[in-house]
Amino acid sequence: MPWLTAEEALQALKTKPQTLYANVSRGRIRAKPDPADPRRSLYQAADVQRLAERHAGRRKSESVAAEAIRWGDPVLSSAISTIIDGRLFYRGRDAADFAEAATLEQTAALLWNGAEVLSSKTEAGRAAPSLQAAFVALAGRVTLDLPSLGRSQAALRHEAQSVLSTVADALAPGPSDQALHLRLATSWQRPDAADCLRRALVLLADHELNASTFAARVTASAGAALSAAVLSGLATLTGPLHGAAWQGVDALIETVCAVGAEQAIRRTLAQGNRLSAFGHPLYPDGDVRALALLSHFPLPPQFSNLRDAGEAVVGEKVNVDFALAAMAAAFDLPREAPIILFSLARSAGWLAHAMEQIDSGELIRPRARYAGPAPDMRSSA
């Protein structure tokens, strides 16, 4: 597998070093340390060539189709959310503005295009928020709940409320008359974090056709129960390139504390690792969700140093994964708080997309572009 030096990659891309680093941090270009000089990096030639051809407008039609499913053009119609000019909208409403006062329950009602207020059977004194409990509870419902096909939207909304309650019982245990962000703040014994938790839940509720939402829609398109769609989304969310990206931020912060921010960034890039704290392909001018969160709590010094150094070296602003990790540190929340928040919030979005997909009546079934050995077309007789 051929590798290029930074100079060769920059020449092929006809771009600045910051853009090269940004493409590495986004996972678009693979990198590894140079065996001859570990302080330098080498870049995968095929990735560089693909981006160079894309920028030059020389992609073939099949390449365009293949890339549409990877940060490409829209592949499904949806009326739930969209990102336009660096702004996130929920059914036409600016999500950052909506997060100023809304709760997750109100956000679910908006995304579901009409819903009852969430209620839960959980009583005070239940165990702490648990992602494992959410998986177990959803898996227990999958074989018991009815398939989603052939049922009215009103019936599906009623079941969506029940599924969201199941998730909430596991991830935000507490009395049913209390808002979910307050239940989380109480469970974690951090009442001063309640407003930031509320904002985070609203801002994370939906994000168009991200990986976990697409997985949920595929499951729903087959007619599976709503609980199965949410379970699919939850499983996908746990990946380190998605909802678990905050772990990469935490690891980077540990390195910052050991060697300093700039050295931590340079070491990470030289090792060919992604900088999960920076950049987002849909927000070239900065992740609006991060901006909406970071202005509401004091940034811990190590996070502030990382942000300043990273934005200078990489040329990208911090993203929502950085903001969630910083918020957890600022309020001394449990280490798994970011994934708990992400899972609880995004469950509302998965349910909205599942119901929309069911209403479309379409099965999501892409074709594969075969790249294996030439088939033997001779008769087997």
**pLDDT (0 to 100) of residue 325:** 96
Task: Tell me what the pLDDT averaged over the chain comes to.
Answer: 89
**More reliable by pLDDT, 139 or 127:** 139
| Highest averaged pLDDT of the listed ranges 20-29, 130-139, 309-318 | 130-139
CATH classification of the domain holding 340: 1.10.580.10
Contact 29, 269 (CB under 8 A): no
372 assigned to some structural domain? no
Print the SS3 string covering 142-209. HCCCCCCCCCCHHHHHHHHHHHHHHHHHHHCCCCCCCCHHHHHHHHCCCHHHHHHHHHHHHHCCCCCC
**pLDDT (0 to 100) of residue 292:** 97
pLDDT score of 298 more than 70: yes
For residue 131 the two structure tokens come to 């992602």
**pLDDT (0 to 100) of residue 58:** 44
pLDDT score of 380 more than 90: no
48 assigned to some structural domain? no
Report pTM.
0.82
**More reliable by pLDDT, 137 or 366:** 137
pLDDT tier, 115 (very low <50, low <70, confident <90, very high otherwise): low
16 assigned to some structural domain? no
pLDDT score of 118 more than 70: no
User: Position 377: which residue type?
Assistant: M
Task: State the Cα–Cα distance between residues 375 and 235, nearest whole angstrom.
Answer: 35
**pLDDT (0 to 100) of residue 258:** 93
Give the Cα-Cα-Cα angle 244, 246, 247 (nearest 5 degrees): 80
Among residues 348, 338, 318, the alpha carbon closest in space to that of 193 is found at 338
pLDDT score of 210 more than 50: yes
H-type alpha helices, the chain: 6-13, 17-25, 45-56, 61-67, 95-98, 104-111, 131-142, 153-171, 180-187, 194-203, 211-221, 226-237, 246-259, 261-270, 288-294, 301-314, 320-330, 337-360
Among residues 342, 297, 307, 104, the alpha carbon closest in space to that of 196 is found at 297
Rounded average pLDDT over 222-248: 94
29 assigned to some structural domain? no
pLDDT score of 69 more than 80: no
**pLDDT (0 to 100) of residue 56:** 66
**pLDDT (0 to 100) of residue 189:** 96
pLDDT score of 79 more than 90: yes
Instruction: Residue 257: give the domain boundaries.
Output: 76-363
For residue 375 the two structure tokens come to 């088939």
pLDDT score of 18 more than 70: yes
Rounded average pLDDT over 292-297: 96
How many domains does the structure of the chain reveal?
A: 1
Rounded average pLDDT over 181-196: 97
375 assigned to some structural domain? no
Give Cβ neighbours of residue 5 (< 8 Å, ≥ 6 apart).
34, 40, 42, 43
pLDDT score of 197 more than 70: yes
38 assigned to some structural domain? no
Rounded average pLDDT over 294-299: 96
Q: How many CB atoms lie within 10 A of CB 63?
A: 14
Task: State the Cα–Cα distance between residues 200 and 337, nearest whole angstrom.
Answer: 11
pLDDT in tens, 174-185: 998 899 999 999
369 assigned to some structural domain? no
pLDDT tier, 46 (very low <50, low <70, confident <90, very high otherwise): confident
Task: State the Cα–Cα distance between residues 237 and 229, nearest whole angstrom.
Answer: 12
Share of residues in the chain with pLDDT > 90 (%): 62
pLDDT tier, 1 (very low <50, low <70, confident <90, very high otherwise): low
Rounded average pLDDT over 181-205: 97
pLDDT in tens, 314-363: 889 999 999 999 999 999 999 999 999 999 999 999 999 999 999 999 99
**pLDDT (0 to 100) of residue 207:** 96
pLDDT score of 27 more than 80: no
23 assigned to some structural domain? no
